[in-house]
């Protein structure tokens, strides 16, 4: 805090840069690990809608669907439409990580706790604000991802 009890303006610092790099990396890695599982889930949902559980020759469950997808399209079957969610996760994680760090730093400067640690209430407040800010960033990316998956797994007849 400044001399008159006002919060001084905070500028971008190395912690913010580190948070941004960490958030971009974590968003990309999470997408590359999670997207194949999401593709398998969508394929299983499509298969369940199109075929009854007694249809002969249809894969049953996670392993059967995974093997069928791999046989039909190779590894690319698991990463179709991955660009949009990857970019969406990278941007949204960046918004979350950087905003989270910035707000925590601001609250620490304002509250000046003796132990240098925010209270649980303050931490929850920061998380709530970050979640609210994250929603308009993440929702469009999720809509695009779902539409791409639907188009890939439900081609026009």
Model confidence over 23-44: pLDDT tens digits? Answer: 999 999 999 999 999 889 888 8
Mean pLDDT value across residues 124-139? 91
Q: What is the pLDDT of residue 127?
A: 94
- The two three-digit tokens of residue 148, written as one number: 């791409």
Full-model pTM: 0.70
pLDDT above 60: residue 12: yes
- The two three-digit tokens of residue 141, written as one number: 């990316």
Q: How confident is the model at residue 55 (pLDDT cuts 50, 70, 90)?
A: low
Q: How confident is the model at residue 58 (pLDDT cuts 50, 70, 90)?
A: low
pLDDT above 90: residue 83: no
Three-state SS string over the chain comes to CCCCCCCCCCCCCHHHHHHHHHHHHHHHHHHHHHHHHHHHHHHHHHHHHHCCCCCCCCCCHHHHHHHHHHHHHHHHHHCCCCHHHHHHHHHHHHHHHHHHHHHHHHHHHHHCCCCCCCCHHHHHHHHHHHHHHHHHHHHHHHHHHHHHHHHHHCCCC
Q: How confident is the model at residue 59 (pLDDT cuts 50, 70, 90)?
A: low
DSSP at 78: G
């Amino acid at each position: 805090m400044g001399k008159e009890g006002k919060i001084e303006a905070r500028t971008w610092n190395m912690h913010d840069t580190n948070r941004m790099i960490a958030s971009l990396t974590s968003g990309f890695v999470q997408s590359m690990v999670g997207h194949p599982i999401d593709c398998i889930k969508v394929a299983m949902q499509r298969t369940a809608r199109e075929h009854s559980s007694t249809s002969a020759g249809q894969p049953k469950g996670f392993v059967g669907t995974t093997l069928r997808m791999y046989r039909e399209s190779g590894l690319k079957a698991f990463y179709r439409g991955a660009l949009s969610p990857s970019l969406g996760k990278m941007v949204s994680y960046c918004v979350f990580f950087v905003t989270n760090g910035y707000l925590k730093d601001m609250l620490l400067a304002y509250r000046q706790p003796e132990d240098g640690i925010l209270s649980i209430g303050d931490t929850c407040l920061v998380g709530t604000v970050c979640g609210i800010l994250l929603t308009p960033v993440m929702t469009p990316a999720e809509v695009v991802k779902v539409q791409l998956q639907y188009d890939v797994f439900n081609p026009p007849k």
